[in-house]
């Protein structure tokens, strides 16, 4: 496998017709260390990529059938949740970076409980490493495949892990808001943007599927099994995740003390920025960045985090993990800034 010092790595995007698949293609086309040799889709097979994603008009990349990926050295799979685990045995035996939820959870019972179905290929889960580089980059070089984290999970884990690692949390309540693109490209009732554009509502109390993922990652990173209340909301915007974590601390701290914990934890992380006030989904849109704000009053800390759900919550984070896995600087192809307005 080549890296920056050799020939470009040939990659394919499986499931390129959705929002995340389109973002993967867009970003990989600009990556200096890769060559996109295939993109696949089911219903859109036979069309040019620009017919499905007009922002990619003019790109000479036809959408092929699912199995037309044999030239690729690495596969990025962007199929809907529940489909990669059925398709994986028919794909070429190549390293995979999967952005679905199919291979994130190591607890089979938790998967079936939260996703409402039995896992069809659970024996393959052990082949996947959890692709959150800020916490697990040292493990990625040793894994065959990568399971990219979920969007809510990414923002929540990054918001919580410095305090959890310091052992300062007594209780945690997280309120999180997502934009309509998190529901995918196909309209789905109340998840369809015309309904969501001027609506704000809570959903799935206590049972959101990212809860076991958050707890698993925090335990892996800190050695602590952390309980938390997680309440997701649907917001009236298209892209973005905003998390507000209210943390009851084990002892009183000043804002400066809590901020120092975060500054020290993320000192060398190129994609995590600490804000003086609140983050804003507008300031991370189209980027791989996670912006974090910290406030504290005695025994209560309020930590806020913002990411782009299609980027740091999916496509660009998958590429960041790929970069780490295959020896590129993690910023390669991802040094992007949001537009001002």
What whole-number distance in Å separates Cα of residue 290 and Cα of residue 295? 17
| Cα first-last separation, the chain | 40
CB-based burial of residue 121 (10 Å sphere; 0-12 exposed, 13-18 middle, 19+ buried)?
A: middle
**List 121, 151, 275, 290, catalytic entry:** 151
Strand order in the sheet with 63-64: 63-64, 34-40, 9-14, 74-77, 96-98, 145-147, 128-130
CB–CB of 250/167 below 8 Å? yes
CB–CB of 320/133 below 8 Å? yes
State how beta strands 201-202 and 229-234 pair: antiparallel
Residue 121 known to be catalytic: no
In sequence order, the β-bridge partners of residue 272 are 290
Return the active site residues: 151
């Amino acid at each position: 496998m080549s890296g920056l010092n050799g020939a470009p790595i040939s990659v394919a995007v499986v499931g390129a017709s959705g929002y995340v698949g389109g973002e993967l293609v867009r970003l990989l086309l600009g990556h200096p260390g890769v060559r996109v040799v295939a993109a696949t889709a089911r219903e859109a097979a036979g069309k040019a990529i620009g017919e499905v994603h007009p922002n990619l008009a003019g790109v000479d990349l036809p959408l092929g059938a699912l199995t037309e990926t044999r030239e690729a050295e690495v596969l990025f799979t962007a199929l809907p949740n529940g489909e990669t685990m059925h398709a994986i045995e028919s794909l070429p035996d190549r390293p995979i970076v999967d952005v679905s939820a199919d291979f994130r959870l190591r607890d089979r019972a938790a998967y079936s409980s939260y996703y409402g179905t039995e896992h069809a290929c659970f024996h393959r889960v052990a082949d996947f490493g959890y692709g959150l580089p800020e916490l697990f980059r040292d493990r990625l070089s040793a894994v065959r495949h990568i399971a990219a984290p979920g969007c809510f999970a990414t923002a929540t884990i990054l918001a919580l892990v410095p305090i959890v690692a310091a052992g300062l949390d007594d209780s945690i309540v997280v309120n999180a808001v997502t934009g309509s693109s998190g529901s995918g490209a196909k309209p789905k009732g109340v998840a369809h943007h015309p309904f969501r554009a001027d609506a704000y509502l809570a959903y799935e109390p206590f049972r959101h599927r990212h809860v076991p993922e958050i707890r698993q990652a925090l335990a892996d990173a800190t050695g602590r099994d952390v309980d938390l209340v997680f309440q997701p909301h649907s917001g009236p915007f298209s892209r973005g995740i905003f998390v507000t974590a209210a943390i009851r601390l084990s002892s009183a701290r000043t804002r400066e003390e809590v901020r120092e914990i975060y500054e020290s934890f993320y000192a060398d992380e190129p994609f995590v920025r600490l804000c003086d006030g609140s983050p804003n989904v507008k300031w991370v849109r189209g980027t791989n960045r996670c912006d974090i704000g910290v406030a504290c009053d005695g025994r209560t800390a309020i930590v806020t985090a913002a990411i782009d759900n299609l980027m740091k919550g999916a496509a660009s984070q998958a590429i960041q993990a790929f970069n780490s896995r295959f020896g590129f600087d993690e910023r390669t192809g991802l040094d992007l800034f949001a537009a001002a307005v």
